[in-house]
Amino acid sequence: MHGPSERLILIAPDSPANRDVITTTLRGAGFEIAVATTVEAALDLADEERSRSADEIERQVAARTADLSDALRALEDAKDALSREVERLEGELREARGQIERELSTPLIPITDRIMVMPMIGTMTEERADELLDTALRGVQTHNADVVIIDDVCTTGDSTVAAVKHSRDAGMNVLGAICLVDRLMGAQENLEGGLGCPFDAVFTLPELT
């Protein structure tokens, strides 16, 4: 960008004739002319031009600074918006991952129109029991099925007891509980005596040893 003094020429001619020739020539070349009749006047004009140039430079610097400040604010706003979007996407990803994990940990497998299997692998925590119930309720409502709790190995039967209680609390008709291997350490007593839930085992531990 050109400053105001780049096309301005200060002359101090020694005669009117020289002034006219110089002025005509320079204006014809596209320059602005400032004429001083004395050395003092020339110095005063030079000081005024320097002052105008400094003011113009300050104005340009201020305008450029304002532009840079606006650009920085826009960049910060974009950064904040990107951070919020990343946080939102991470939340959706965590929710989707959790849903997949819940479905895998409590799968509901239809065998026939009225028989479904839900494997219970691992410890039956309160949280997992709630997830199991949600899945089972959806399956029972869809298939109009009764419920049989099947466990792999029963010791005291705590996990099976918890499953029976939660299922009944949710309004399911629990027909009974079946265990693949009963270690004969109180599971049958806790289920039949404590809950009145029929219990049977495919094998007992002594039968397998």
CB 167 within 8 A of CB 190: no
The better pLDDT of the pair 173, 98 is held by 173
Q: What is the pLDDT of residues 107-166, one digit of tens each?
A: 777 777 667 777 766 666 777 777 777 777 777 767 777 888 888 899 999 989 988 888
Q: Are strands 147-154 and 174-182 parallel, antiparallel or unpaired?
A: parallel
Token pair for 183: 């270690």
Q: What is the pTM of this model?
A: 0.42
pLDDT at residue 55 tops 50: yes
Q: What is the pLDDT of residues 157-172, one digit of tens each?
A: 998 998 888 888 877 8
pLDDT at residue 2 tops 50: no
Q: Exposed (0-12), middle (13-18) or buried (19+): which is 140, by Cβ within 10 Å?
A: buried
Alpha-carbon span 118 to 5, nearest angstrom: 88
pLDDT at residue 87 tops 80: yes
pLDDT at site 121? 63
